[in-house]
Structure formats: structure tokens, C-alpha cells
Amino acid sequence: MSKVGALNLASGLGGTIDKTQVFSAVEKYEKYHVFYGGEEEERKANYTDMVNKYYDLVTSFYEFGWGESFHFAPRWKGESFQESIKRSQHFLALQLALKPGQKVLDIGCGIGGPLREIARFSSTSITGLNNNEYQITRGKELNRVAEVGNTCNFVKADFMKMPFPDDSFDAVYAIQATCHAPDAYGCYKEIYRVLKPGQCFAAFEWCITDSFDPQNQEHQKIKAEIEIGDGLPDIRSTRQCLEALKQAGFEVLWEKDFAADSPLPWYLPLDPSHFSLSNFHSTAVGRFFTRNLVKALEFVGLAPKGSQKVQDFLEKAAEGLVAGGKKEIFTPIYFFLARKPHS
């Protein structure tokens, strides 16, 4: 682990939150969630504040441990984690039949890892929509380094009320981002509005599966761990997502939970029993080193007070994700391709 990597992690912790206010922001974020007495309706009503606090607090951790693309992917045997990430992004581009010169919208683009990869792969112009100022600032810097500034840009806005005219884009995609929406129908309806008639919307969604039992306390605990660790108001079922798409006006061309037959489990990078040099930071051993690094940085004052608490709820998320994956009650790779009719 290099000094540069450690310093980059320390410098970004807290995002745009004043370093003296990080501990307070963590406490306010935690209070939205079940473990601290929070309610689902409160999270939905305050989703903008909750999700912004979440990404200010966790983005540096994500980039340090995950790279520039903050998502899971179906994975073949013999394929590295990063190779599977790129393949899933190319898969989206191919499903959308992207063509050079088209205008594409990335909903909830993070720091733009998928945006840059898909733009280069498809020779399209991609706008990344994001409501978090820190991630946009970081994304612009990475665009500059990658020299994609002419084809990739960012817009700061809420995907529940986008600042684009009707029928603006040739294609829209979302990679494990619209799970942050307080209302799937409202989010999909807004996507429908900005998409040109006859064109498609493709997404990977975070969902609970038909195996989830709302009366099972262990299932509820796992769901709550994922919600607090990943900034989610709620986790919808695959059926709820499908119904919301149809209600919004989309024609669903096909859908599939890729977790059902992925040759390697999607949660493998987080599984404590798995070790990987290619994705060391996200392994159990890597998280142990990161936890102690953050503790040391906070102790000497290089990381703001509260950073260790962020690491703690990210650990909780990892536990919930692995448990949810093993019990097959949760998937982050539920895929659908939907078309906006011509009339």
C-alpha cells in the first residue's frame, strides 16, 4: 500500500463536508437507518440529503478499494474482477446498440468510470447525471486525465427531476444507481420523458429476490445492513421494478437476474473466505488493512474524526451483501432492457 494511495484516501475523506463536521455528518446519516431508529418513510422523504451525505463520506473509500467503477458484475471463471466490470459495461453498450455520435445519459454516474469506458468503447457522447458535488469534481479531474473531456461531461441534478427537455437522449443507462431513488415509478417516468421515442433504457438494479421473506428477522437484518452501508432508502423487489417500468410507459424487451447463473458469485470480492491480489483492497484482508490505515490516519489527524465510523458501516454493508448473496435473497445485477414506444 503506497504512501500516495494512503494520502489520496485521507485527502478525500468527507468529500465536500467540512473536515470538522464529518463526525456530525456520520451521526446524522446513521440516524436515517433502522439500526439507529430510522424509518423507511423518513429516508425516502430526505433521500437527497441522505444520499449526498453517504457519497461525500464513502467516495474515497470506494475509489481506494474498488477503482473508478463502483458496481458489481457477473463474472466468468478465469476472469478478473476488473475484467468483469469492463465486460458488463460493454454489454450495456451493445444491448443499447450505441452508435458513434449518439447522445447518451448515464443516470447516477458516480465518478464516471463506466461513462469513460462506454464512451471510448462506443464512440458516443455521454452526459453523467449526479447530485453529488464531490463526485462530479473528482469525475471531471479523471475525465481530464483520460482526455475524454470533448465527449464526456457531467450535470449536477436530481434524477427525479432532470433539467433536460423531453426526448433529449438516444439512449439512457443506469448501473446500480436508481436503487437510491425514493420511488421507482417516478424515477423511471423521468427517464422515459428525456429518452427519444423508439429508443432504449438499460439498467442493472439492486433488488431483493422472490426468496426474500419479510417475516424472517435474519432477512430483515441483512436488508437493513445493505441499506445503511449503501445509502438506500429501501430495497425494491425485481417485480416492483418491472411493474414500475411498465407503469412508466416502457415496453420491457427482456430482463434477467444475472446472479442466478453467474459462474462466479458476484459477492466474491467481499467474501472473507476469498483472497485476490488483483482486487486486494476489497478483500477481507484488504479491508482489515484499510480499517487500520484509517484508524491510524484519524489518530494522527490526517483523516477527519468520524472516518473510522464510515469504515465501520461499510464493513456492515459488506457483511450484509455477502450474506444476502449467499442466501440468494438479494441481487445487485438484476438487468433489464426497456424501450420507449414510438407513440
**In this predicted model, what pLDDT tens digit does every residue of 310-335 receive, in sequence order?**
888 888 889 999 999 999 999 999 99
The DSSP code sequence of 173-218 is EEES-GGG-S-HHHHHHHHHHHEEEEEEEEEEEEEE-TT--TT-HH
d(CA 178, CA 241): 10
d(CA 207, CA 205): 6
d(CA 70, CA 76): 19
pLDDT-derived band of residue 134, with 50, 70 and 90 as boundaries? very high
pLDDT, averaged across the chain:
90
The answer to whether 85 touches 333, Cβ cutoff 8 Å, is: no
Give the model confidence (pLDDT) of 71-111 as tens digits. 999 999 999 999 999 999 999 999 999 999 999 999 999 99
The answer to whether 272 touches 286, Cβ cutoff 8 Å, is: no
- Return the axis-axis angle of helices 113-122 and 81-95, rounded to nearest 10°: 60
Q: Which of 307, 241, 271 is nearest to 17 (CA)?
A: 307
CA torsion angle for 273, 277, 281, 285 (degrees, to 10)? 40
pTM over 0.85: yes
Grid cell locating 340? 420507449
* Three-state secondary-structure class, residue 337: strand
Residues of the chain with CATH 3.40.50.150: 81-262+327-339
pLDDT-derived band of residue 199, with 50, 70 and 90 as boundaries? very high
pLDDT-derived band of residue 146, with 50, 70 and 90 as boundaries? very high
Q: In CATH, what number does 81-262+327-339 get?
A: 3.40.50.150
Give the model confidence (pLDDT) of 234-264 as tens digits. 999 999 999 999 999 999 999 999 999 999 9
pLDDT of residue 287: 66
Instruction: Please say if the pLDDT value at position 162 is more than 60.
Output: yes
Per-residue pLDDT averaged across 257-286, rounded? 76
